[in-house]
Amino acid sequence: MTKEKKQSFTFRVSNANKTEMIAILYDIAIEYINEAFVSADSGDTVSFRDNVNRIRSTVRELMASLNTQTELGRTFLSLYIFCNEQLTKAYLDIDKKPLETVLKMFTTLSGAYKEAGLKDASGPVMKNTESVFSGLTYNKSLSLDSISTGASNRGFLA
């Protein structure tokens, strides 16, 4: 994943509510799936397997966020177990076909969670994060972002 993509995901995480956090996890998995496709096309099996492992880590994170006391949580758990099986097939066989199945599901789920995130009024999960104001000043990379460093206690509050 490029440095710019990582920064983009980091910025999104710092401003996301609970529902948007799940959408971000799907987007991260989708990014790794696309990178796995490129690796497979170029014949780089090591990179392909690394990307599949990153996708599996994201699926594990999604599984950990579930409330399996509800029917919906158990349904999502079954879905994630199926995804994990597909990822295992892709990893062992160096095959893009199982990844295509996971990509279709995650693309649909990401869209649904993005839409639900707009209706979630719970506010950002992270508190005391730095404020970013676009267009105020130039930094070394010539982007138009300025970061306000008003707080020394950033991130999650315990």
Task: Measure CA 109 to chain center.
Answer: 12
Q: Which domain holds residue 151?
A: 127-158
Report pLDDT for 65. Answer: 87
CATH code: domain of residue 30:
1.20.120.340
Number of domains in the chain: 2
Report pLDDT for 58. Answer: 92
31 within 8 A of 5, measured Cβ to Cβ: yes
Whether residue 17 is found in the same domain as residue 71: yes
* Measured distance CA(110)–CA(132) in Å, rounded: 25
* Measured distance CA(96)–CA(103) in Å, rounded: 10
98 within 8 A of 56, measured Cβ to Cβ: no
- 79: amino acid identity, one letter: L
Whether residue 133 is found in the same domain as residue 107: no
The two structure tokens encoding residue 115 = 């839409």
- pLDDT, tens digit, for every residue of 114-158? 887 777 667 666 665 555 544 445 555 555 444 444 555 555 554
Phi then psi for 136, rounded to 5 degrees? -90, -40
Whether residue 114 is found in the same domain as residue 59: yes
3-class DSSP state of 147: strand
Whether residue 28 is found in the same domain as residue 98: yes
| Helix and strand element counts for the chain (H, E) | 5, 2
Report pLDDT for 42. Answer: 93
Report pLDDT for 4. Answer: 80
Q: Look-up: residue for tokens 């999650």? A: 156
Residues in Cβ contact with 28 at an 8 Å cutoff, skipping those fewer than 6 apart: 9, 58
Residues in the chain where the model's pLDDT stays below 50:
133-136, 144-149, 158
Whether residue 75 is found in the same domain as residue 9: yes
Report pLDDT for 128. Answer: 55
Whether residue 98 is found in the same domain as residue 138: no
Phi then psi for 147, rounded to 5 degrees? -110, 125
59 within 8 A of 88, measured Cβ to Cβ: no
